[in-house]
């Protein structure tokens, strides 16, 4: 299965769309949002860093589903079924692929924060932010897989983009929540994107991860996990 | 490998309709049929990609999925497109690595005739090259049985010849090969045994020679020169009569008797006697089933 992981990670990193959309875009947006107009303070530089790292991680995690949809469409998943690999290994390998391919986006945005924007955190904070964002991206990998197994390659792309942009904007990854009207701010608290950023922000502020964030993310993990399982079961008969 | 009364239906269509057959080790077998005859469904059942609605399918004495899991089967499926963003060597090595006792990757590439393409990306190859990559994936694990679903569809003549050369060198190593095709010449030229499938049923099973003999050996053709065709079906040996332009074509299982009878009628003009081709055999076998359905 490690071979499968290696193969799929390699294929993902060779995808120019993934590298530009999933890694370069969040970095560029982060640098733009924090340096335009010269109005940003240190707090926003840190907050936006975490928001954009989370945005990149979410996009990369969802992208795993795009890969599944593509592999389903071209018959690669069917071809795997006539090798000794078990379906469980394939699904697990794909999920792990998702958890590996989110790392470059997280690392790139954090690096931009530290090296370009002069964000200063303790070593353990950097590590904790990265790990929490990484763990927090797992529900999104499952959401992507659910889409990928259920939909065609094209509709998966669209569904992933809608999920990504919608959840990122409403979750406050792009703009500070302070700019939102009250009702949207309360809605935002229920999104997984808001809570993944909150995990990172609390650690960057020197606090322990908020329990509320863990609870909301766990709920989403279960919801997206079930969605992925149901989609997979339905697709497995026709792959 | 064996099928016992296997049936697989999709809605009201019985794609495989009660197939019984047995294939021994080391045979090279062609599954011959028109498009939609049930070849791909038969192969899906054999590989455990589908379960039969009735009857059983066994591979190496057990369920197909167990044989696949044990690495005893390699397959080249129809309608798969090249895997993007991966090189030939990476892909074939990956597939080989799934099997317990694979071929060395270099050997697999050599056998499939793509050793010189190892570093190229699979999604940037020509159709024929990509097809041979799929063949390399099927044999990379050195499985006892390889199953090839229409392996030469959409290949040009050159690529097709190269492909069959590769297939034969693999079969010579003592492996069992089953391939499906709708090209009669391919089945005749490359298989020890031909299974003809039509409307989900096995309508013939034997060597190319046996198939030709089974449908009445010869065609007798002559110019009608304005004469009608009445009475021709009653001539000795004649199985069927066909008219093409001004020529009558009689299929006969006793061409000597047929020709003698024609001579008595004084009908011999531009006479030709040729052995029925496999094409004719195939037409006769499958149209026969059409009539009885």
Domain ranges of chain A: 2-236
Of B225, B198, B224, B194, residue with least CA distance to B212: B194
3-state DSSP call for residue B191? coil
User: Any idea what the CATH number is for the domain that residue B174 is in?
Assistant: 3.40.50.300
Q: Which of A15, A79, A83 sits opposite B80 (nearest CB)?
A: A79
Interatomic CA distance for residues B5 and B71, integer angstroms: 26
B26 and B137 assigned to the same domain: yes
B223 Cα to chain A: minimum distance (Å): 53
The token pair at B21 is 């057959």
B288 inside domain: no
Residue B180 has pLDDT above 90, yes or no: yes
Contact B77 A84 (CB under 8 A): no
- Burial level of A17, CB count in 10 A (0-12/13-18/19+)? exposed
Q: What are phi and psi of B3, to 5 degrees?
A: -115, 130
Nearest to B148 by CA among B35, B28, B19, B289: B28
Residue of B nearest to A72 (CA): B80
pTM of the model: 0.85
E runs forming strands in A43-124: none
Last residue of a domain, one of B172, B188, B212: B212
B208 and B227 inside one domain: no
Contacts of A229 (CB under 8 A, 6+ apart): none
Instruction: Pick the more confident residue, A36 or B195.
Output: B195
| Residue B211 confidence (pLDDT) | 80
Q: How many CB pairs under 8 A join A and B?
A: 65
Give pLDDT < 70 ranges for chain A: 37-40
Structural domain includes residue B290: no
The predicted-structure confidence for A106-143, as pLDDT tens digits, reads as follows 999 999 999 999 999 999 999 999 999 999 999 999 99
Please answer yes or no on whether A83 and B68 come within 8 Å at the CB atom.
yes
CATH code assigned at B225: 3.30.70
What residues make up the domain containing B226?
216-275
Q: Flag whether B147 is in a domain.
A: yes
Indicate yes or no: CB of A76 within 8 angstroms of CB of B69: no
CA gap A52, A15 in Å, rounded:
21
Q: Is residue B291 over pLDDT 50?
A: no
Contacts of A17 in chain B (CB under 8 A): none
In Å, how far is B231's CA from the nearest CA of chain A? 55
Contacting residues of A for B80, CB less than 8 Å apart? 74-76, 78-79
Looking at residue B146, what DSSP letter applies?
E
B208 lies in the same domain as B226: no
* Residue B292: band (very low, low, confident or very high) from pLDDT cuts 50, 70, 90: very low
- Angstrom distances, CA of residue A95 to CA of A72, A134, A159, A214: 15, 13, 18, 20
Q: pLDDT at position A68, please? A: 95
Distance (Å, whole) CA B82 – CA B94:
15
User: In this complex, which of B49, B85, B100 lies closest to A11 when CB atoms are compared?
Assistant: B85
What are the pLDDT digits (tens) for B89-127?
999 999 999 999 999 999 999 999 899 999 999 999 998
B222 with B263, same domain: the answer is: yes
From A82's Cα to the closest Cα of chain B, the distance in A is: 6
Do B126 and B138 belong to one domain?
A: yes
* pLDDT higher than threshold 50 for residue B78: yes
Q: pLDDT at position A171, please?
A: 93
Does residue B148 share a domain with residue B48?
A: yes
Query: Under an 8 A CB cutoff, do A74 and B69 touch?
Result: no
User: Which pLDDT belongs to residue B290?
Assistant: 41
CB–CB contact B75 A82 (8 Å): yes
Do B151 and B259 sit in the same domain of this protein?
no
Tally of domains within chain B:
2
Residue B277 has pLDDT above 80, yes or no: no
Instruction: Select from A70, A73, A75 the Cβ nearest to the Cβ of B77.
Output: A75
Q: Which of B212, B239, B255 is the last residue of a domain?
A: B212
Q: Which of A71, A73, A84 sits opposite B98 (nearest CB)?
A: A84
Q: Which of B212, B230, B250 is the last residue of a domain?
A: B212
d(CA A99, CA B201): 48
B164 with B251, same domain?
Answer: no
How does the average pLDDT of chain B come out, rounded?
88
Give yes or no: residues B231 and B244 share one domain. Answer: yes
What are the strands of the beta sheet with B272-275, ordered from one edge? B238-244, B247-252, B218-223, B272-275
Q: What are the tens digits of pLDDT across the range B232-254?
A: 888 888 888 888 888 888 888 88
Chain B residues contacting A, CB < 8 Å? 47, 49, 68-71, 73-75, 77, 79-86, 90-91, 94-95, 97-100, 137, 141
Same domain, B199 and B232: no
Q: Considering only alpha carbons, which residue of chain B is nearest residue A83?
A: B68
- At residue B293, the pLDDT reads 34
């Amino acid at each position: 299965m490690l071979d499968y992981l290696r193969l799929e990670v390699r294929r993902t990193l060779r995808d120019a769309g993934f590298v530009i959309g999933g890694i370069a875009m969040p970095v560029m947006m982060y640098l733009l949002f924090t340096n335009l107009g010269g109005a940003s303070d240190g707090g926003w530089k840190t907050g936006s860093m975490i928001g954009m790292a989370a945005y990149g991680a979410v996009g990369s995690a969802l992208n795993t589903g795009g890969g599944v949809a593509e592999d389903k469409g071209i018959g690669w998943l069917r071809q795997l079924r006539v090798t000794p690999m078990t379906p469980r290994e394939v699904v697990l390998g794909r999920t792990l692929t998702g958890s590996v391919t989110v790392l470059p986006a997280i690392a790139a945005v954090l690096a931009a924060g530290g090296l370009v924007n002069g964000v200063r955190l303790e070593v353990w904070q950097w590590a904790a932010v990265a790990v929490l964002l990484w763990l927090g991206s797992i529900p999104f990998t499952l959401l992507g897989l659910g889409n990928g197994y259920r939909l065609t390659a094209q509709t998966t792309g669209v569904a992933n983009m809608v999920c990504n942009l919608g959840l990122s904007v409403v979750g406050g990854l792009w703009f500070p929540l302070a700019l939102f009207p009250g009702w949207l701010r309360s809605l935002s608290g229920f999104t997984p994107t808001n809570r993944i950023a909150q995990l990172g922000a609390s650690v960057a502020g020197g606090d322990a991860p908020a329990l509320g964030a863990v609870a909301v993310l766990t709920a989403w993990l279960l919801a997206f996990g079930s969605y992925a399982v149901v989609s997979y079961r339905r697709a497995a008969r026709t792959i | 490998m064996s099928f016992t009364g296997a049936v697989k239906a999709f809605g009201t269509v019985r794609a495989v309709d009660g197939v019984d057959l047995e294939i021994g080790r080391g045979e090279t077998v062609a599954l011959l049929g028109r498009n939609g005859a049930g070849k791909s469904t038969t192969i899906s059942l054999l590989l455990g990609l589908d379960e039969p609605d009735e009857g059983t399918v066994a591979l190496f004495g057990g369920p197909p999925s167990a044989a696949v899991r044990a690495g005893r089967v390699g397959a080249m499926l129809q309608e798969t497109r090249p895997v993007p963003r991966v090189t030939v060597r990476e892909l074939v090595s990956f597939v080989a690595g799934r099997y317990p006792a694979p071929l060395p990757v270099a050997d697999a590439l050599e056998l499939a005739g793509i050793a010189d393409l190892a570093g190229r990306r699979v999604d940037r190859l020509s159709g024929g090259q990509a097809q041979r990559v799929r063949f390399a994936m099927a044999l990379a694990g050195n499985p006892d049985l390889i199953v090839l679903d229409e392996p030469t569809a959409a290949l040009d003549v050159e690529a097709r010849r190269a492909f069959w050369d590769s297939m034969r060198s693999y079969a010579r190593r003592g492996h069992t090969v089953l391939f499906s095709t709708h090209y009669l010449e391919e089945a005749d030229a490359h298989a020890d045994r031909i299974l003809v499938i039509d409307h989900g049923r096995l309508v013939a099973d034997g060597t190319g020679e046996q198939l030709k003999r089974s449908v009445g050996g010869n065609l007798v053709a002559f110019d009608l020169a304005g004469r009608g065709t009445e009475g021709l079906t009653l001539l000795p040996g004649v199985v069927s009569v066909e008219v093409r332009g001004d020529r009558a074509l009689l299929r006969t299982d006793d061409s000597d008797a047929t020709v003698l009878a024609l001579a008595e009628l004084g009908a011999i003009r531009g006479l030709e006697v040729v052995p029925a081709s496999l094409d004719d055999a195939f037409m006769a076998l499958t149209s026969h089933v059409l009539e009885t359905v």
